[in-house]
Amino acid sequence: MNALNARVAVLIVAAAASSAQAQIGALGYEAPPRIDPDRVLTPTLLASGNHRVRDQVKTRGNWLEFEIESDFGNYKALSIPMVALRVHEIRTLAQAVNEFQRDNQKLAETLRGQLTVGADSFVDILTSPLSTTSQLVSQFGSKVAQTFDEFGRPSPDVDEQTTGGKTIYHSFVPGDPTLAAHKRNVASQLNLDFYSSNPRVQDFLDTLAAARSAGQQRAGVVTISLPQDQEIRVANGRVEAAARAAMTHNTINQLYARNFEQLVSSAVDEDLANAFLSHPVLSPWHKTMLTERVAFLDGVENRGALLRAALSTRSEEEALAYLQVGKMLDAYQERSGSLRSLASAGHIVLATTRDGTILVMLPFDILYWNRETEQIFSGLEKFARDKGFKKHAVISSGIITDSARLGLVGLDFDLQERFLLRR
């Protein structure tokens, strides 16, 4: 744990222990708020000709749980990024099957039959060791308090995180190298994740790869046209493009070697790089994308803090949350060029800027005002003030309720919510 982490640990714990300092006035606490989906989801995520997000949204700690009805089954999606991922998969599969109908009706009917089996029930997402929809209250996102409590504990020992064995993602790779190469190419052409936990996607990619291997070279060759998502594109999408190219041209073992070399060249400690790349829950896509995010932060000290925080990942939702943190850091740096250094404090990533600001990067769907939130941010405010930071700010990918906004402004936090949405 570096010096900044140590200072944070001491001061946050001390501040949280003091009830006098944990209170900022008579501001009332909130119960977990009820949120309408159209408040947090863009129209293209809410509904299309192939899917609909139900109106019932549950608040699970600082994440929101959605239910998606689709042509290919119903999905539970814990977090807004998970909704975006599942909707992208659903719409891509639907459009691809419709396109195949024109050129290869037999293949289209085969795919349609596979994908719509049991479409009225919830899709049984691959859970081992992903713990996706079944883990409704996760270690990372259940409460902001549980997350910030990690400030007072040492960072994970990288040696304890190294597994060295095969994970569920190896089972997605066909044993035939030619078939595996076809599957990677189909996934790339359709902008799908080769290692997706969605069994509908895996069946789809395997069927198209087999068709190509059997001589149908145009299987999977279609033009997919989906509405552009509403999130910003850092460096005009260069980071995502680099990760996608790496996924296309490398086997799972080659990805490890490629990402390790990239991380070491980005001044990440070799033991940390190995621990991160050996993590059993983070997928090859998560690891490659985070590698590219770290590489983009050229000139920022201690870039490996993002990876160290990601070692605590225990579910797919958490993995997507760290992708959000990486994207927020890249976007902040692209806009301002002012990031000085990063620090991991348990699950959370902090950043400091050259003008003396400390940033708290929050990848949560919603931040609302309760006792834990008040204590945590009171402690952060005291830490920032005692250490001479000129400003302290919350950078959030989600929304902040009116009560939480009042409480944070009362603690002199600058706030930037929905940071990744295009303005």
Q: DSSP letters of 288-314?
A: HHHHHHHHHSTT-BTTTHHHHHHTT--
Q: Residue 1: what pLDDT? A: 46
Average pLDDT over residues 395-421: 97
Q: Residue 158: what pLDDT? A: 56
Q: Residue 201: what pLDDT? A: 95
Q: Residue 222: what pLDDT? A: 73
Residue 421 lies in a domain: no
Please list the residues that pair with 350 across neighbouring strands: 343, 360
Residue 152: is its pLDDT beyond 50?
no
SS3 88: helix
Please state, in angstroms and as integers, the Cα–Cα distance from residue 253 to each residue in 101, 228, 278, following that order. 36, 32, 11
Residue 347: is its pLDDT beyond 60?
yes
Residue 127 lies in a domain: yes
- Contact residues for 101 (Cβ-Cβ < 8 A; gap 6+): 108
Residue 388: is its pLDDT beyond 60?
yes
- Contact residues for 261 (Cβ-Cβ < 8 A; gap 6+): none
Q: 115 lies in which domain range?
A: 3-416
SS3 341: strand
Choice between 380 and 30, residue whose per-residue pLDDT is larger: 30
Residue 354 lies in a domain: yes
């190419």: which residue's tokens? 185
Choice between 201 and 124, residue whose per-residue pLDDT is larger: 201
Rounded to whole angstroms, the Cα distance separating 396 from 415 reads: 8
Residue 22: is its pLDDT beyond 80?
no
Instruction: List phi, psi (to 5°) of 66.
Output: -115, 160
The rounded percent of the chain whose pLDDT value lies above 90 is: 64
Average pLDDT over residues 83-94: 95
345: pLDDT confidence band, cut at 50, 70 and 90?
Answer: confident
Q: Residue 111: what pLDDT? A: 81
Residue 422 lies in a domain: no
Side-chain-side CA neighbours of 60 within 13 Å: the count stands at: 23
Q: In angstroms, what is the C-alpha Rg of the chain?
A: 22
Choice between 111 and 269, residue whose per-residue pLDDT is larger: 269
118 Rama sector, left if φ>0, alpha if ψ -120 to 50, beta otherwise: left
Residue 331: is its pLDDT beyond 80?
yes
Average pLDDT over residues 386-402: 95
Residue 241 lies in a domain: yes
Residue 36: is its pLDDT beyond 70?
yes
Residue 302: is its pLDDT beyond 90?
yes
- Average pLDDT of the residues of the chain: 85
Q: Are 22 and 379 in contact (CB under 8 A)?
A: yes
16: pLDDT confidence band, cut at 50, 70 and 90?
Answer: very low
Residue 270: is its pLDDT beyond 50?
yes
* Terminal alpha carbon distance of the chain: 37
Average pLDDT over residues 166-195: 94
Q: Which amino acid, residue 71?
A: D
Average pLDDT over residues 11-25: 43
120: pLDDT confidence band, cut at 50, 70 and 90?
Answer: low
Residue 66 lies in a domain: yes
- Token pair recorded at residue 115: 């994908």
Residue 188: is its pLDDT beyond 90?
yes
Rounded to whole angstroms, the Cα distance separating 373 from 387 reads: 21
- Nearest partner of 188 among 326, 285, 295, 81, judged by Cα: 285
Residue 316 lies in a domain: yes
- Token pair recorded at residue 255: 């990805």
Residue 359: is its pLDDT beyond 80?
yes
Indicate the number of domains in the chain: 1
387: pLDDT confidence band, cut at 50, 70 and 90?
Answer: confident
- Nearest partner of 91 among 41, 47, 40, judged by Cα: 47
- Nearest partner of 396 among 103, 57, 62, judged by Cα: 62
Choice between 383 and 103, residue whose per-residue pLDDT is larger: 383
Q: Are 190 and 220 in contact (CB under 8 A)?
A: yes
Rounded to whole angstroms, the Cα distance separating 207 from 193 reads: 15
237 Rama sector, left if φ>0, alpha if ψ -120 to 50, beta otherwise: left
């080659």: which residue's tokens? 254
The reported pTM is: 0.87
The rounded percent of the chain whose pLDDT value lies above 70 is: 82
